[in-house]
Amino acid sequence: MPKQDTIGIIIAAGNSTRMNSNYYKQEYMLGSKILVQHAVDALKHAGIQWIIVVLNKKLEHIENYLTQDDGVHVAYQTAMKGTAGAVVAGINFLNNGNHKINHSNTTPILITCGDMPLINSNTYTKTLDFYTNKGVDVVLASTELTNPFGYGRVVRNLSGSVDKIVEHKDASANELKITEVNTGVYVANIQTLSKLLGKIGTANSSNEYYLTDIVTPGSKALTFDDAEQFTGVNTKEDFALALKIYYKRNAIMFIRNFGAIVMDIDNVYIDHDVQGAKDVTVYPNVTLQGTTSIGEGTTIHSGSRVQNSTIDKNVTLLDGSIIIDSTLGEGTTIGPYAYLRPGNSLGTNSKVGTFVEMKKSSLGNNTKVPHLAYIGDTIVGSNTNIGCGTITANYDGLNKHTTKIGSNSFVGSGVTLIAPVDVSDNSMIAAGTVVTQDIPSDALGISRTPQRNIDSFVERYRKAKASQKASQKASQGESITRKKAPRKVHK
């Protein structure tokens, strides 16, 4: 059965009470995406076209974030009556007709949880295929845990078929010994789900409508070996564990898929969607985020962070450099401790050095900004050198303006360019100059107060300072003497 004929329902309506936080767990960031977005993406990668995310009304602020993806809809669980109530809210959304989701009573529904961000898309695909091949009313995904504390147990009969799922708090002593647990992933068609949900009661220790009660004798369970992928986030400890698993798994896949070199897979932070290439070298404590793409032979040293950027071949990012929403040409060198804010484009073999900050600017090929400079809203040509301490003053207090510096030019140290200003090709700017007018080609721009030397100034200055200091000290001593009260002698 094509996965496009399946509808996904993601349960994400919980109140996150165990997180001990001012925020809901659904909006916690795992990598560059909120938790529930990971579930959406995995279903999409499994080929499921239509997805309904069930939230509580206090999470309305993430609806627009989620529904940016085609085929993703949000339903709300208004009565918080357990996980079964969340699925009912999703089915009611389908039945109210306020959407473009094609479905019938026999349309399969794959149910999963919004707080399980690590599930592989292949797991969803295999579970759907298992449902199709077995031809039973309900299929669930299960796994084995050496310590199943807190998880619902999969109870099988003597023939090995599934009888039911019993929650940990409702399990008998014998049932607590079972190590096969429910993962929260189910498949059933709309008609079957509606019928089974209608029969669910609240005869349990929590007085809630358990979704697990849709599992009845005759259901089938597909057991997965990779238990880590079903890690659920209910506490901050769970979240810390999920982060560790997520980043280590991504580091391993970064090596395996692209032929990269990762120096320490336990101490790098690579998002799922980051693209690499052969012989990319990643040192410890590097963070690669979002839609970043890295070309062959690039080396990224410790403490660097790259977000939503494109890095070409043989680039070197030295320690502590930050690159955000920028493009780096082949052979570029960055850092150490450079900061590229959004909107930068660097040509081949360019250099942005120590403590240089750039924003919304471009450098041509072989152009260098070696150290201690700010380049904002600036267009620089090729083969140009920007001296230490240079600033392009792009903001006049109301608006941002552009500075243009041509090719084959030289900007001396300590120069300030007051935008808007245009420095032509083959020009020079003398050190310490404040540029307020355009500089034509082949010209030297210079603005300095004439230097004046005062003979014998240092000796006279030091003597005056010493005399002043002695006078102040004497004055302070006299003041203390006056304030000291005379002793009284008692006879």
pTM: 0.87
The pLDDT, as a whole number, for residue 485 is 53
The H or E element containing residue 388 is: none
Question: If we measure between CA atoms, which residue out of 86, 31, 19, 82 comes closest to residue 53?
Answer: 86
Q: For this structure, is 371 an active site residue?
A: yes
Q: What SS3 state is found at 417?
A: strand
Q: What SS3 state is found at 164?
A: strand
Cα gap 172→178, rounded to integer Å: 10
**268 neighbors 247 (Cβ within 8 angstroms):** yes
Contacts of 164 (CB under 8 A, 6+ apart): 155, 212, 213, 215, 216, 217
The pLDDT, as a whole number, for residue 5 is 87
The pLDDT, as a whole number, for residue 409 is 98
Catalytic option among 61, 99, 371, 490: 371
The stretches in the chain having pLDDT less than 70 are: 1-4, 478-491
The pLDDT, as a whole number, for residue 484 is 55
CB environment 129-144: b (16+ within 10 A), e (fewer): ebbeeeebbbbbbbbe
Q: Please measure the distance between the N-terminal and C-terminal CA atoms of the chain and give it in whole angstroms.
A: 116
Q: For residue range 292-311, what is the model confidence (pLDDT) as tens digits?
A: 999 999 999 999 999 999 99
Tokens 């109210």 belong to: 96
